[in-house]
Chain A
Amino acid sequence: MAELSAGSAHAAVHPPGLRHHFEDMEQQHEAGNLGMWVFLVTEILFFGGLFAAYAIYRSLYLPGFEAGSRLLDVKLGATNTAVLIGSSLTMALAVHAAQTGKRKALILFLLLTMVLGAVFLGIKFDEYATKWHHGLVPGLKWAPDEEMYKNAPLGSVELFFCFYFFMTGLHALHMIIGFGIMTVMTLEAWGGKFSAEYYAPVEVSGLYWHFVDIVWIFLFPLLYLIGGRY
């Protein structure tokens, strides 16, 4: 890059993957990790606005929220929770494989993570389709059967579904972005870019993936399990 037009005698002895403005691999590694953590703090606040609004409305309109929650499919939600926790495991194994320089294991675990991510998105899509079919999509197709929400106030049920689609939609968007990141990681691992000395991108991508999983760990009970069914 043009960054180093002059005064760099150390270019020849660079370890692979070290960018020129860092002094050494350790500094670069720490900077990358801290950068992702700071980004995740931003993400927490991004979702946090939604969670705060959810908390306020749920305390105001609990019956409507419970009625809305009962319209969700707990089995699919629980399956997806298990799928995502599984994907966190394969992601952690992928990072471990990267740290120990095992290229084949790294590729395998990255692919497994992507498969589990795709399963999650598939199930999510199926749930959305069912909601569409039942007329439970605020703003686009809102025509719920009176049977479905019983005596609960219809407005609050619609409010609940606004939150359901915003929160899970935003989460799904993060999953899709994560899927893209994992695709890039897999291709780079395929190309032999990573080694026991240089694996920071895998580690940082893993942080992101775990964060997205954790968001779901909060979404699942708040959306699926509040109906007082159990």
Chain B
Amino acid sequence: MSTAAVVESPAGSRVHYLNASYGIKSWLFTTDHKRIALLYLGSITFMFFIGGAAATLIRLHLIEPTGALVQPETYNKLFTVHGVVMIFFFLIPSIPAVLGNFLVPLMVGARDLAFPRINLLSWYLYTIAALLALYAVVSGGVDTGWTFYTPYSSTYAHTQVIATALAAFIAGFSSILTGLNFIVTIHKMRAPGLTWFRLPLFIWAMYATSIIQILGTPVLAITIVLLAAERLLHVGIFDPKIGGDPILFQHLFWFYSHPAVYIMILPGMGVVSELIACFARKRIFGYSMIAFSSLAIAVLGFLVWGHHMFVTGQSVYAGLIFSVLSFMVAIPSAIKVFNWTATLYKGSISYEAPMLYALGFIGLFTMGGLTGLFLASLATDVHLTGTYFIVAHFHYIMVGGAVMAYLGGIHFWWPKITGRLYPDGSARFAALIIFVGFNLTFFPQFVLGYLGMPRRYAVYPAEFQVLNVMSSAGASILGIGYLIPLIYLIWSIRYGPVAGPNPWGAKGLEWETPSPPPTENFEEIPIVTEEAYAYAEPEDVHG
């Protein structure tokens, strides 16, 4: 990346979105999608470290079989806070609200999202929700787990269920508004010549994600309202006293919360498609297959929620159908993985920091996906459900997949966002540390779960201690790995070398405008004449 030609005058002499105006008001009342992306970046980074702090305490506690740190009641609150914060306040907004907000208008060649004020509103909703969640934490916490299962949440829990549920409700609206904005922008605001099949795959992924956001999130919203009302009024539709069914809550909850898994991973897949094509210097293999597999995942994702409920007493036939449908999700997922590896084949690959994250993503996501098949099978799920196996499985998807892709994306577009480069050596080092720390944390949990250690318990039999200590050791390495980018990225804002418009030699409209982009994104709206990823084919290189 040091070879990038610096055609810009040093940042500061040119007017761009960061220096167009100054002062706190110019940020809090901005309607510029790029500034809103940065507001989100700050907020979700803060929430990430809150959720991370809870995870740290959990892993510290589990060093001893009898629990090293906290009371069991506190332990319940810790894993609930970890889940609620990481899912609703980090993973779901992460790539869409930060990278998507910044990149969607740039990638489609628009001056802003379709509804800039609604975009700002969504950040305010997120902030209000986050503050409410933090209030719930400090005013006693909540111990239901992030899933809020009834009747415990509606009747028996003595903790801040309503405040936390309300926080998830408000955060949901923030997510819906982001999805709505993206759908309209992608439909109506593409630059001349930018047909659907010339769009970057990141845009296809954001489109599929937005569909899930607008279709799934409202169902969670109404479910949470019903739960809160039931808790408040001591009677409601999940109340067995009057014939209500607590299991219905699980159906409605997972109707959103399973697709929500794809809200978290699909954007990551979009990022990885961009990174792989750029650093293999190749047109992506199977463009339309990757694009349609995103939509297939979005659709199938709505039909598999019952696999969270194989042991709740749902009918065997329903279980059978949900099992088959869950296996089918493996098809579009595998299509993506095979197409990425096929893109790498005979590519001229360079191992810049973003690429390390992308490669890490492919490996870890594949492991997470394959272990998912054990859980989609009815018979093995009975043994593995509710154990650490499932904890390891979804952390391979969520942390090994979504967080890796998010960090890869942040590193890839950081020069575009800030106009500065970060120290490459530190970035590669951090990527390696995170990869090692991650695997050391979560691989032992597969074994623990297979051996039968249940999740969400504050104590465990002594024979599981070695693996638990390994996991906690890995978590501390992972934690350090996450702190390193925080330090050098902040450092780079001021001291990093000036990046220039296209430090990676990447294709895409966002690289054709200066870094950082001007407030209106493009001097003139570009006219698109070629397909995405029009990198020179390797055949040309070999002559």
Contacts and interface: CB of A to CB of B under 8 A. Distances in A.
Interface in A112-136: none
B542 interface: no
A143 interface: no
Among B234, B520, B524, the most chain A Cβ lie within 10 Å of the Cβ of B520
Given A139-B235, A159-B237, A38 B183 contact: yes
Given A38-B184, A42-B180, A49-B219, A3 B31 contact: yes
A190 interface: no
Contacts of A151: none
Interface string A1-43: 1111111100000000000111100010011001100110111
A166 B219 contact: no
B234 A31 contact: no
A215 interface: no
A13 to B, nearest CB: 17
Nearest to A41: B214
B385 interface: no
Q: How large is the interface on A (under 10, 10 to 19, 20 to 34, 35 or more residues)?
A: 35 or more
Interface residues of B, number: 54
B248 interface: yes
Contact of B219 (A31, A45, A138): A45
B214 A42 contact: yes
A60 B229 CA distance: 22
Nearest to A162: B237
A31 B233 contact: no
B519 interface: yes
Given A3-B32, A162-B235, A39 B252 contact: no
Nearest to A27: B188
Contacts of B216: 45
A42 B184 CA distance: 14
Interface in B189-218: 189, 214-218
A3 B112 contact: yes
A190 to B, nearest CB: 23
A158 B112 contact: no
B180 A56 contact: no
A107 B541 CA distance: 68
A31 B184 contact: yes
B45 interface: no
Contacts of A2: 20-21, 26, 30-32, 519
Contacts of B497: none
Nearest to A153: B243
Interface string A140-156: 10100000000001111
A50 interface: yes
B235 A6 contact: no
Contact of A21 (B116, B223, B229): B116
A82 B486 CA distance: 61
Nearest to B521: A21
A41 B215 contact: yes
A211 interface: no
A3 B226 contact: no
B465 to A, nearest CB: 44
B232 to A, nearest CB: 8
Given A34-B187, A166-B226, A53 B218 contact: no
B248 A53 contact: yes
B244 interface: yes
Nearest to B242: A155
Given A27-B189, A31-B184, A35-B115, A57 B218 contact: no
A7 B523 contact: yes
B509 to A, nearest CB: 15
Contact of B237 (A6, A53, A153): A53
A39 B519 CA distance: 28
B218 A21 contact: no
B20 A158 contact: no
A139 B525 contact: no
Contacts of A42: 176, 180, 214-215, 217-218
Interface string B166-195: 000000000010001101110111000000
B137 to A, nearest CB: 27
Interface string B222-265: 11001001001111110001111100100010010000000000
B136 to A, nearest CB: 23
A156 B21 CA distance: 61
A61 interface: yes
A180 interface: no
Contacts of B403: none
B116 A57 contact: no
A209 interface: no
Task: Name which of A50, A53, A159 has the most chain B CB atoms within 10 A of its CB.
Answer: A53
A49 B223 contact: yes
Interface string B104-133: 000000111111100000000000000000
8 contacts: A3-B32, A3-B112, A5-B20, A6-B518, A38-B183, A39-B180, A49-B255, A163-B237
Given A30-B188, A35-B180, A156-B242, 10 more contacts: A2-B21, A3-B519, A21-B111, A21-B113, A38-B183, A45-B215, A57-B244, A142-B235, A166-B229, A166-B237
Interface of A: 1-8, 20-23, 27, 30-31, 34-35, 38-39, 41-43, 45-50, 52-53, 56-57, 60-61, 64, 138-140, 142, 153-156, 158-159, 162-163, 166, 170
Interface of B: 15, 20-21, 26, 30-32, 110-116, 176, 180-181, 183-185, 187-189, 214-219, 221-223, 226, 229, 232-237, 241-245, 248, 252, 255, 518-520, 523-525
Q: Which 4 A-B pairs have the closest CB atoms?
A: A139-B233, A46-B218, A155-B242, A21-B112
